[in-house]
Amino acid sequence: MIQLPFKSRDAISLIDKANLNLVRLDRDLSRNVQNGMEDVYFPNDTHWGYAGNALAAKAIIRFAKILPENKTRI
């Protein structure tokens, strides 16, 4: 698992406790990095590479498909 800075871990903990209906991209990205997928992040950087952007897009599409009709607006 990718180690997040303390403040990020606190924010994620609060989100989990609040049971908010959010896309958790960190889980998909971390799982794929652990499984050896390359180009999730740029080398020595925190920005997503091509594979990271593709994973994020797929996760957002999956999430949007399961939301009730009235929950899709921001």
- Which residues in the chain land under pLDDT 50? 74
What pLDDT shows up at residue 69?
A: 65
What pLDDT shows up at residue 3?
A: 58
Cα distances (angstroms) measured from residue 2 to each of 17, 32, 39, 71, 74: 20, 11, 15, 30, 29
What's the token pair of residue 13? 């903990």
What pLDDT shows up at residue 55?
A: 96
What pLDDT shows up at residue 21?
A: 79
CA distance 29 to 18: 22
What's the token pair of residue 8? 């990020």
What pLDDT shows up at residue 17?
A: 83
